Structure 1
Amino acid sequence: MSSHNQNASSVRLSPAVEIDERADITVRAVISLRWVAVAGQLATILVVDLFLHVLLPMQALLLVLLATAALNAVLSGARHAWPPRRHDGQNRWMTVIGATMLFDLVALTLLLYFTGGMTNPFSLFYLVNLVLAAFVLPRRWVWGLNVIAIACVGFLVMRYEPLLLLEADPEPGVPPGGGFDVLSTGSLIAYATCATVIVLFTTRVSSQLRRQERRVRELADLRARSERLESLGTLAAGAAHELATPLSTIAVITQEVERELSSGKLTDQTISDIQTVRSELDRCRDILDRMSTDAGLAIGETLVKTTVGELVEEAVDGAGDPQAIQVTFADGAATVPLEAPLHGLAQAVRGIIKNAVDASGPQPRVECRVTASNDRFTLQVQDSGTGMDAETLRRIGEPFFTTKEPGKGTGLGVFLARNIIERLGGTLAFSSTPGEGTCVTIQLPTRLPAPGQAGASDLAGHGQLF
């Protein structure tokens, strides 16, 4: 069984096309249940004919069963020849399954027509067919089959072939059918068969659903671990990249200081070099502080209830000269309720605003425009810099890519900000015209998941249970 499931989930038709496991499970389940139905119908016909002594039109009944079995064989062969594929397989195969269940309703109607119509206890199987359809087909198919089933029942109420007993004159006190109450026995068999099919089907659905939920949880955990490792790897690489320059400077200076001290000379240049070492060490500490802050965003932060205005206020604080940053709110935007990881999100937005200040030259002027609705808010950050060409705009956000002077930026600010914003269900977009500055547009929902929690729901399947 395990190898079978593994094959179903991992078979590849080509590097770009995969079997749609969900649709394939549905098709296999329907084919299996139809073989069970054919075997059950054949067994029921033989029991009624041999033991209940009811005269049946065997030729017509067996012809219907033969047609059902032939269609199921064709369906099984088609599944092997043209298995459901991702993107285009499920809709096509749902149409095939819907047409097959329509055939089954017609076949059941024919069987009941020759065996007493709605007086036949096996008319319960109309409900079984509709229950199965509700589990595996889209809503429009289920309602269509429901209307057709009602029409079939109406037809059988008016037209059917009555059942005839082989024993026309039973002994006094003995029920017709040679010691059996035909109606009661038929009802018992019909109920047992109907209940068995429904229980078999629903337990299979429940088992499949539990397996799917377990896989979703495992994939969500794996994704969370992968994101944490990716963040740590990125931060480690960034730390190495940023710390390399000041540490190299420190290494050169310490060699010079060591040489001068060994000769007993201490010049003004040596003192200046020592001050440079101190400055470079402060720079290293600043880099490590920023790295630790960014690392905290990857781990996750609890949600707090705040407002859009408070978020923007915290983001602007520390982003640069307050006189250079102009914030405008649309009517009511500042007071729109917001539930978010405030400090982590503000840190990401602050990095964007600080980049705008740095890009605006010696006399920076940055405009922050905020609009909001009940479920989303938008922050546009417009700088007064020289703008970016198409190639720079294309590369913005790549790890370690920066337009700043060496030592002035890590090349990770936009990359980490984009990761945080997108994991919170938002978007980060850049537009720029050379000579006219750059505009950054941030859109976010007003109720945000904590970092690391977003994205798990998109792993859950959509469509039918199978």
Structure 2
Amino acid sequence: MHFEDFDASPPAARQDAELPTRLQYLIDNTPALIYCTVPSGDFKMTFVSNNAFNMLGYRPEEMMADPNFWFDHIHPDDAPRIVASLAEVFTEGQRVYEYRFRAADGRYLWMHDTLRLIRDAAGRPLEVIGALTDITDRKAMEEALLAKGIEQQQLIGKLREAHEQLLQAEKMASVGQLAAGIAHEINNPIGFVNSNMSSLQGYVGALLQLIDAYDDAIAGQPALVAQMVPVRQAADLDFLRGDVTALVSESIDGLRRVKEIVQSLREFSHVGETEWQLADLHRGLDSTLTIAANELKYKVTVVKEYGNLPLVECRASQLNQVFMNLLVNAVQAITGRGVIRIRTGVQEDWVWIEIADTGAGIAPEHLTRIFEPFFTTKPVGSGTGLGLSLSYGIVNRHGGRIDVHSQPGEGTTFTVWLPQHPPQRDAGNAGA
């Protein structure tokens, strides 16, 4: 037996001798970069594990040679936050940070850094130990998930808005069907009542002429004239003569107004018109005013200053909905009596419709939000906050825009700008 290579030292002694090498091996191959710094000043590094080169591309001796290496390589946007709270390491004993650190190739990598303060037996700060872990991939995933979440929220918002627009379109279709039913059911009786009233007007005129002829015939016979005086007084013929003519004329005028209302309702809804077409916007405005007359007449005076508009390629029923929303908002903004002024005009290839009111105006902090879905300054139950949002969407799909100018206490002016020929009318646009 040869004893030259036999190690007679106890096993524990051999383990102690190998321990520094073993620890160095473990430190250099851990997933985290281990480093130590002085516990004051610039946090100069006094130890850096060898895996720094694989993680960051720096040699440990390079990192320890520069007293400002740690601070100088933290992203400028992250450094102030870390500096502001670094003193808490000395009060709490440990701090955890996530920040961007510049690698040797110039890239900024996201790091998870756990700093722990080591004290000596007397409690004095001895050094700070840090463990850096590369979390760049995790951060990228978080940002992707966040972006996905934002995208989903935006999609949900768009779906909600599209749902509300669909409900509004269905409501408008129902109004159109109702208008068609009203027109069908009312036009026939209105037609023969109107014809009868015209005939009645002629009959009343003929009877009054007959009475005048009888008066002329008995004028030379005093006894007959005296006999007819109490009859004329009982019938109050002089009043009846004027009143019956006025009643017939008023009835004919009332029938005419009923026909105009039905026609305006049909034009407002544009029953059966689902395609883009050339439309007269003034007719749309007038029909909308007729439909809203009951809400307008007791609060406002409507002043129309129409320019010379060309026919505009559009979906007229949707634009009428925009006009209705703007008019109703204008009325609701007015306390007491006020004025709504409607102006129209042409500028190059654009037409514009301006609806101005003398109402309370819109606060500056609300101006940037008035077109947001569900935003409203009205009391709960008084508005959905969808009117202006839907109007914005309709005008936008027509290739136009809505401008608003408002001064609190002085009123608000909405101006709808529309191209005479929308630049894009694809299938999705046309069907919206």
TM-score by length of 2: 0.35
Higher relative contact order (CA 8 A, sep 6+): 1
| Larger strand proportion of the pair | 2
TM-score (norm 1): 0.33
Greater helix content: 1
Query: Larger C-alpha radius of gyration, 1 or 2?
Result: 2
